[in-house]
Structure 1
């Protein structure tokens, strides 16, 4: 891509105009196309060809009819018109990144909907606005190679990482992996090429460890497990070098969460190490998260007493009054999330009478906007209903989970729901089950 200059590339002078910048920021591509034609003499037919759109679609947009909201199409327009990523709320595109940051990346896992078309990616970051997602990223000019980095840059990078983390609330790893990986690679290059004090260097390493965990989680979510492992391991080493015990413990917790399905003993051992490495002085939210992950490792291994003790420790950590600011990467860990993990653990332990009430109450408070996570959590509720013999209720919950998972670029909801659907298949003589199986093609 980097060696090709499309005939639809917008001139720099046009990109710098206030009306063009406003149209780009608002994702008003109809106006962008109109300005491209009137000011740069770029025909709609050329725009259609480069953007992989029908000419009539381009014409309709230019006349103010319709909008573009899918992640893939917006990225395609950015590349065709050579609109820098930051103007659209995207990571730097490959054609604009410095050569030092170029890296060949396989396309992330892609999830089609039942009709074979792309489902709108959660209305492209909820129109890239309301939740303060990508468009509202803090302004940031990355230093050039060899330049001196100020002590304020690590905190600015951490604020940027916090904003980018909000994408995971509404999108799957297939949409976010390259964004997160680009941030990680850019900071890694900065550490290699810039100059800074020892204290600033440690702070930058801590940011790098956090970015590696973001990228690793997205890789895990879209099925790139080797990439996830490599990023988690890199994060752990960098966090140790930075002296950041909390992030080092969290890197191990990620590794344990990934490992537990394949090697339960290793999952428990790594998860226990994560608690030890973070230490008793870690922030309450960090301790709660790590004990949750330890409880999960015990539950998957079928160890009920150990699971309950770890859940109690997580609850105690959440109840701990601590005036210190919590790391942004644990802000999602709250009482409701702990209840969901509790229900998941009891589901794994085949205790539906304990799992169902907890999951039902917690999921009733859980917003559908978090479609991937709610779909996953509903899969455990459906699993518990099946274990309890409530087949029709399990089918209803499974259908709801499948609807939520539609269009989310994550492999995990479907992986979780596949065994539930297989178990439901034993009851296909029931009308509700037959209807669900027919709908899903199972």
Structure 2
């Protein structure tokens, strides 16, 4: 808590109660509203005015009828009632205290705890120069390797878990640039590292539902990469901005497709093949969401051609995760968005059979597109089975994206709740 709480803030003691915790975990905000009035004296009209929900709707929810499913409304309720993000599966909210700089001991504690989940990151201890000290020419490469190793956390953890760690790395390097002493070349290399760290932190913020923070970090990354003369990272920053822009309305999606095209042009034809493959597959996705079928096909072809050029030589580690399986999944996602289930289902089924369940967040997301395509094809029971697998995988992952992606799929399944398979998965979702 910040110490300057609004009159609608729930008392910390209430947030510790098991019944309130269970309600928050289930996104049962009606129960939370009822408790807020009965136990904290916060009237329904006060909650309504602060959250933008109609007063009669607040009362209806408090009586146990209906649920809040809109992501923006959930975030508004959380912020108004000052509910810590972790209690509802969100990243730390902007009003929750965040250390200006995470010390190495804090990062080690985090990573030590993460090791219990099977992580073996093996980070080196870097001795950063004191404030105003001379920065050695080898430090940027050491930081780059550290960033690469930290990236592995994203394979198994959601943005709600990784954001503070990634942000701390970015803030430390930014402080080093501001207060350290270094040659022009070392400064340029540090700026490149900073751009990469900003993208990493921005992605975690996006994954944790902190979209304003994500945009700010992506924009900071683009500036740092441009100042460093790193066209590949500058292009990737634009690709991230495009990806985020696809959440908007029709015009925003059209603009995002143009930004994605700029990302490819910024990196240029001389970029590493892995980088071009990554940017072209993101361009394909932007075109698919914008409804451009022909442009989607061309971008996928360009991504495949670039990937075919990868000959075993080292690629930038932030693009090295793109392989045949990932590209196949992206193709399936694109055809799902374009309502082409006969093309989407076979490639998604094939690729996801090779995709390990340890990447729980990503596999849950990818399964949501498979379920979507099965529904479009009229295979309702199969869609329900796949949705159940996605729900199981996404349980406990600190990422808002699986829940966002599965919400419309579950809504469509609700039209067939008389089918036993559908009733089972809807019950699973409620639980």
TM-score normalised by length of structure 2: 0.74
Distance 1:90 1:143 in 2: 23
Q: Which runs of 4+ in 1 moved over 3 A?
A: 321-324
**8 A Cα contact 1:146 1:193, kept in partner:** yes
**8 A Cα contact 1:292 1:311, kept in partner:** yes
**What residue number does 2:412 align with?**
423
**What residue number does 1:300 align with?**
289
**What residue number does 1:28 align with?**
none
- Bigger CA drift: 322-331 or 353-362? 322-331
How far has the Cα of 1:325 moved from its partner? Answer: 2.1
**What residue number does 2:351 align with?**
362
**What residue number does 2:134 align with?**
148
1:218 equivalent to 2:239? Answer no
Distance 2:418 2:322 in 1: 41
**What residue number does 2:109 align with?**
88
How far has the Cα of 1:335 moved from its partner? Answer: 0.5
> Which of 120, 129, 144 is the aligned partner of 1:132?
120
The CA RMSD measured in Å over matched residues stands at 2.1
1:353 equivalent to 2:342? Answer yes
Q: Please state whether the residue corresponding to 1:146 is helix, strand or coil.
A: coil
**8 A Cα contact 1:283 1:322, kept in partner:** no
**8 A Cα contact 1:292 1:310, kept in partner:** yes
Q: Please state whether the residue corresponding to 2:116 is helix, strand or coil.
A: helix
How far has the Cα of 1:323 moved from its partner? Answer: 6.1
Distance 2:202 2:104 in 1: 28
> Which of 239, 248, 260 is the aligned partner of 1:253?
239
Give CA deviations for 1:250-306 in whole Å, capped at 9, x if unaligned: 000000000012111111110000000000000001000000011001111111111
**What residue number does 1:48 align with?**
none
> Which of 137, 158, 166 is the aligned partner of 1:172?
158
How far has the Cα of 1:132 moved from its partner? Answer: 2.6
1:430–1:267 CA distance, 2 compared to 1 (3 A): same
Distance 1:168 1:214 in 2: 9
Q: Please state whether the residue corresponding to 2:269 is helix, strand or coil.
A: coil
Give CA deviations for 1:414-434 in whole Å, capped at 9, x if unaligned: 000000000000001111111
How far has the Cα of 1:438 moved from its partner? Answer: 1.8
**What residue number does 1:314 align with?**
303
How far has the Cα of 1:441 moved from its partner? Answer: 1.9
**What residue number does 2:44 align with?**
none
Question: Which runs of 5 or more structure 1 residues have no equivalent in the other structure?
Answer: 2-51, 53-70, 73-78, 92-123
Q: Please state whether the residue corresponding to 2:373 is helix, strand or coil.
A: helix
How many pairs does the alignment contain? Answer: 331
**8 A Cα contact 2:336 2:369, kept in partner:** yes
Distance 1:256 1:417 in 2: 22
How far has the Cα of 1:367 moved from its partner? Answer: 0.5
**8 A Cα contact 1:125 1:170, kept in partner:** no
**8 A Cα contact 1:264 1:297, kept in partner:** yes
**What residue number does 2:215 align with?**
229
Distance 1:126 1:434 in 2: 38
Distance 2:162 2:315 in 1: 24
**8 A Cα contact 2:341 2:376, kept in partner:** yes
1:390 equivalent to 2:390? Answer no
**What residue number does 2:82 align with?**
none
Distance 1:162 1:436 in 2: 38
How far has the Cα of 1:139 moved from its partner? Answer: 1.7
Q: Please state whether the residue corresponding to 2:406 is helix, strand or coil.
A: helix
**8 A Cα contact 1:132 1:163, kept in partner:** no
